[in-house]
Amino acid sequence: MYDPTPEHRFTFGLWTVGNVGRDPFGLPTRAALSPVEIVEMLGDLGAWGVNFHDNDLVPIDASWSEREAIVRAFRGALERTGLCVPMATTNLFGEPVFRDGAFTSADPDVRAYALQKTMRAMDLGADVGAKTYVFWGGREGAEVDAAKSPVDALKWMRECMNFLCRYNDDRGYGFRFALEAKPNEPRADIYLPTTGAMLAFIETLDTPEMVGVNPEVAHEHMAGLNFTHAIAQAWDAGKLFHIDLNDQQPGRFDQDLRFGSANPKAAFYVVKFLEDVGYDGPRHFDAHCYRSEDAAGVRDFAAGCMRTYLILADKARRFRADAEIQALLAGLGGDSALTPVMAAYSTESRDTILGAKIDRHALAQKQLPYERLDQLVIDLLLGVR
């Protein structure tokens, strides 16, 4: 029942299961897996797809013929396993050239290089059938605000995104762009730090309909925000193009923990939301296995992300089928004679509301049995219901 199959649309990045356990203080703790080995492992575990940054697949200095050989081997693995590539992205953060930003660098030649690298990476993504193109601007930020106006940074970012939207059209790739926010790390502060900020920025682009968001659990939690509320706003705006599932203790460095491992209750509401609204995009796990694990542990990690999602999806079904929970919910809110009046402004609705007798004391006495409701959710999640 909790065994993943491709219909569940679970995906992983080459950089997630391929993470070798390097951190800012320590060397790798496990051997690197090749892209082909990763695809085979994911196929074996029941995943649907695999995503990558340009240089996760093709080394930055590879020649064209090396690139072609790598893509051929990768495609072979996709065909053998039935995996697809739903999403691709660009590494605009690893190389020293991006030390002060890619699209927001004050140096026009750095920005041009970032555009060139992204266009080539879009070509690569399109070659293997990717449909979504993610932009995570890890270096688009600052330590020294004296050095750069954040308004200029936004202007350069907009210019680059507009340029790439045109490239997408020009080549007929049909990518949906998904912008991923993060508040900090690796920069002291990253511009457009939350999903909400990204949503507002998108509306300033020339073709906003081409661009949505890729919210990540850990990134909103790092900012102390409610992830489910963030994806709800994105969904409401028709902009939830992709999602990065993982976990994160608040107030820490970017932990990229196995999905649901730190805050299963928050993870439950994420899964419940996605299942309730019928989100049909990839469920992408952007997480890393503990540094203490070996290759077998990486399998446990990947299997665990998917299993937890499926357990929580089952809990969401039980929530919907639970008579007591549904009875409690039915008693909340509801309609009154003023419901239709509020739906549209007119001089009549204005006067009706201005003249209505609304007993604020009686309203304040209405029961809101949230303690009971929340305990029922806890009982459900802890498996005694």
Query: Which of Mn ion, ligand GLT, none does 15 bind, CB closer than 5 to 8 A by kind?
Result: ligand GLT
C-beta of 226: minimal distance to Mn ion in Å?
17
For ligand GLT, which is the closer residue by CB, 19 or 308? 19
Site for ligand GLT in 225-244 (CB under 6 A): 244
For ligand GLT, which is the closer residue by CB, 275 or 286? 286
Residues 6 or more apart whose CB falls under 8 angstroms from that of 8 comprise 46, 48, 283, 306, 309, 310
Alpha carbon 332 to chain centroid, angstroms: 31
197/181 Cα distance (integer angstroms)? 8
90/87 Cα distance (integer angstroms)? 11
Choose the catalytic residue: 56, 100, 244, 256: 56
The answer to whether 325 and 16 have CB atoms below 8 angstroms apart is no
Query: Which of Mn ion, ligand GLT, none does 89 bind, CB closer than 5 to 8 A by kind?
Result: ligand GLT
The residue type found at 217 is: V
Site for Mn ion in 240-279 (CB under 5 A): 244, 254, 256
| Window 71-110: contact mask with ligand GLT (x via CB under 6 A) | ------------------x---------------------
Query: Which of Mn ion, ligand GLT, none does 77 bind, CB closer than 5 to 8 A by kind?
Result: none
C-beta of 58: minimal distance to ligand GLT in Å?
15
Distance set, CA 65 to CA 31, 54, 174, 247 (Å): 26, 16, 26, 39
Question: Out of 56, 140, 216, 247, which residue is the one contacting Mn ion (CB under 5 A)?
Answer: 216
- Alpha helix (H) residue ranges in the chain: 14-17, 35-45, 54-57, 64-81, 108-127, 150-171, 195-202, 217-222, 227-236, 264-277, 295-321, 323-330, 339-343, 347-355, 360-365, 370-381
Question: Out of 48, 98, 136, 156, which residue is the one contacting ligand GLT (CB under 6 A)?
Answer: 136
* Residue 56 annotated in active site: yes
Question: Out of 216, 220, 247, 275, which residue is the one contacting ligand GLT (CB under 6 A)?
Answer: 216
Question: Out of 85, 134, 178, 190, which residue is the one contacting ligand GLT (CB under 6 A)?
Answer: 134
Closest CA to 123 of 180, 39, 64: 64
Query: Which of ligand GLT, Mn ion, none does 100 bind, CB closer than 5 to 8 A by kind?
Result: none
Q: Which stretch binds Mn ion (CB under 5 A): 114-122, 234-242, 286-294, 349-357?
A: 286-294
Query: Which of ligand GLT, Mn ion, none does 247 bind, CB closer than 5 to 8 A by kind?
Result: none
In this structure, the strands spanning 49-53 and 10-13 are parallel
For Mn ion, which is the closer residue by CB, 140 or 254? 254
Query: Which of ligand GLT, Mn ion, none does 275 bind, CB closer than 5 to 8 A by kind?
Result: none
Residue closest to ligand GLT, measured at CB: 136
Cis peptide before 186 (omega within 30 of 0): yes
Closest CA to 168 of 112, 121, 128, 202: 121
Query: Which of Mn ion, ligand GLT, none does 134 bind, CB closer than 5 to 8 A by kind?
Result: ligand GLT
Site for ligand GLT in 252-311 (CB under 6 A): 286
Strand partners for 84: 49
The site that binds ligand GLT (CB under 6 A) totals a number of residues, namely 9
Element of type H or E holding 85: none
Angle (nearest 5°) at CA 54 between 51 and 60: 150
> For residue 310, with 0-12 CB atoms within 10 Å meaning exposed, 13-18 middle and 19 or more buried, which class applies?
middle
* Residue 180 engages ligand GLT in binding (rule: CB under 6 A): yes
* Residue 361 annotated in active site: no
Q: What is the largest CA-CA distance in the chain?
A: 78
In this structure, the strands spanning 189-190 and 141-142 are antiparallel
Choose the catalytic residue: 53, 221, 242, 284: 53
C-beta of 365: minimal distance to ligand GLT in Å?
47
The answer to whether 380 and 318 have CB atoms below 8 angstroms apart is yes
For Mn ion, which is the closer residue by CB, 218 or 316? 218
Which residues belong to the active site? 53, 56
Which spans of this chain sit near ligand GLT (rule: CB under 6 A)?
15, 53, 89, 134, 136, 180, 216, 244, 286
